[in-house]
Amino acid sequence: MAGGEGTEDDVRPGWWLFALVLYVGLSFASLSWRDNVLLLNWIIGPLFPVVVLFVIPTVAKAAVRGRRR
């Protein structure tokens, strides 16, 4: 597959933009924290997209399914 084409492994670019806006917003909202983990932590910062775009939706879906049962 040519580079740049989306695959089933990709989320849409709009979701990345959403994550970026959320990241900037949360960073600003948490500026009063002495050591802002979102902006300063080299593990938490890079893991932000996977948490927002994968972990939270997956857990939420599982919770909704569990309630329906």
Q: Which residues bind another protein (CB under 8 A)?
A: 1-11, 16, 19-20, 23-24, 27-28, 31, 35, 38-40, 42, 45-50, 53-55
Q: How far is the CB of 37 from another protein (least distance, A)?
A: 12
Cβ–Cβ < 8 Å for 16, 49: yes
Q: How far is the CB of 61 from another protein (least distance, A)?
A: 13
Return the exposure string of 42-65: e unless at least 16 CB atoms fall within 10 Å of the residue's CB, then b.
Answer: eeeeeebbeebbeeeeeeeeeeee
Q: How far is the CB of 23 from another protein (least distance, A)?
A: 4
